[in-house]
Amino acid sequence: MATIDIDAATAPNSNTYNQSKSIFMRGVLIWAVAALFYFFDNLLNVAPGGMKPQLSQAFNLSAGELGILSSCYLWSYGIMQIPAGLMMDTIGPRRILAVAGLVCAIGTALFGVANGIFMACVGRIFIGFGASFAVVGCSKIASVWFSPRRFASFMGLLVAVGMLGGAFGLAAVSTIIDTFGWKQTLFGGVIVSLIISCLLWLVVRDKPPVEINQSQTNQPKVSILQGLQEVVTCPQAWMAAMYAGLMFVPTLAFGGLWGTPYLVEAHNFSQSDAGLLSSLVFVGWVFGGPIYGWISDYIGRRNPPMYFANIMTFIVSLWLIYSTGFSFQALAIGMFLLGFFSSGFPIAYTVTREKNRPEVSGTAIGFMNMLNTFSVALFQWLIGWILDFVARDVIITEAGKQFSLLDYQKALMCIPICLALAFVALLRVKETYCVVKHED
């Protein structure tokens, strides 16, 4: 099979250049459809944060139970990450992603018809199962359709697309629910999931007609067990995954779930204003993710941007949790900066890919995403549990328990602790200098 490095094509009018450009543009279209799936998955992920009053009233939920309901998505998502990576490496993204879209539709339907927390949790588990293939699928497509030199940039763009989904979910879900009701809103999500599944089947292709990455040409196939063993026995993959998982906690545990009720109950913002403010965490990601990816590729280094992301996120998180008397404008800036600074951690995905062979790229990304997701799922539940445990003089309303600023400050202390531990993990991550080099 012929090999073409798109970045190496230098003759503007040559057949090779035209073929390279055509393959690249087709790859962009395929990647964009897969990224659309990731966009919608992120919207479904954060939806409970914008539905807290409705869900608490419908199912009579405590703070811990709301954390459990939201995290069911993440536990299912996390458990499936390694199997998802293995399937991407052995079967390919097209069939897997199309079926995953159908599973998301089934899960959303189950959530919408739920009459109690058990069925709602089952629906969330199905949604997480289907969504678990999105990031791995997009990264696999990027690894086979584009030059390795573009990988970090495409991962940065993927972060931006996904976080747009999270921002839209938090900013718009409350308004949509007020207009149509929470069950009807979820049924609309079923229709969207089915449409995306059809697009994935019609547009996505497993590989280009010619090899894009010279390093993957004529490489022997890797068995499932061999690929899994290579990844889980790579110490650098563990360190990068620990850093990423702990760095993701401020985004989904705070911005995605507890940020909105925190602003409503502890700082007296309206539900719609709080949802809008929380969505700015994801807007920050939209801008920060591509910038971090581009800077990392440009300077040829991975670790410095990750250190900067960690330290600045730590500072902003302390300010958001422990300051008082916020104005709307100050909070808007703070929430945006929390997302912008923390969006540097996906560079760790690129580090993981560069520490493992290209033949196991899907498995490596899946392994990292598994630990990443488990961290967020644990802390979504833990923050809710701490709120229930430390709460004093709780106010009971139709929308459920109302916690005080002090209660939230005690529970949200988890976030700066996570960021401090992420810094320690990053100290053990060796710089790759943007070179794919397998390490034992």
pLDDT value at residue 170: 74
| Domain containing residue 377: CATH number | 1.20.1250.20
Q: Provide the CB-side half-sphere exposure for 357 (13 A, CA).
A: 19
Q: How confident is the model at residue 379 (pLDDT cuts 50, 70, 90)?
A: very high
Hey, what's the torsion of the CAs at 202, 204, 205, 210, to 10 degrees? 120
Closest CA to 281 of 261, 315, 264, 256: 256
Cβ 282 vs Cβ 160: under 8 Å: no
361 within domain boundaries: yes
6 within domain boundaries: no
Hey, what's the torsion of the CAs at 262, 266, 271, 275, to 10 degrees? -40
4 within domain boundaries: no
pLDDT value at residue 1: 39
- In the predicted structure, residue 221 carries a pLDDT above the cut 80: no
- In the predicted structure, residue 293 carries a pLDDT above the cut 50: yes
Cβ 146 vs Cβ 154: under 8 Å: yes
Cβ 338 vs Cβ 317: under 8 Å: yes
How many structural domains are present in the chain?
Answer: 1
| Angle in degrees, CA 42, 212, 244, rounded to 5 | 35
Range scoring the smallest mean pLDDT among 85-99, 191-205, 383-397: 383-397
User: Within a 10 A sphere around the Cβ of 321, how many other Cβ atoms?
Assistant: 20
Residue with tokens 């990031």: 135
- In the predicted structure, residue 61 carries a pLDDT above the cut 50: yes
Tell me the chain's radius of gyration from C-alpha atoms. Answer: 21
379 within domain boundaries: yes
pLDDT value at residue 5: 46
Q: Provide the CB-side half-sphere exposure for 50 (13 A, CA).
A: 30
Interval 265-287 mean pLDDT = 88
Identify the domain containing residue 259 by its residue range. 12-209+222-426
Two tokens at 163?
């976080």
| Angle in degrees, CA 29, 34, 37, rounded to 5 | 135
Task: Quote the CA–CA distance of 97 and 341 in Å, as a whole number.
Answer: 30
Cβ 347 vs Cβ 152: under 8 Å: yes
Two tokens at 283?
């807007």
Hey, what's the torsion of the CAs at 225, 226, 231, 234, to 10 degrees? 130
pLDDT in tens, 169-187: 777 777 788 788 888 888 8
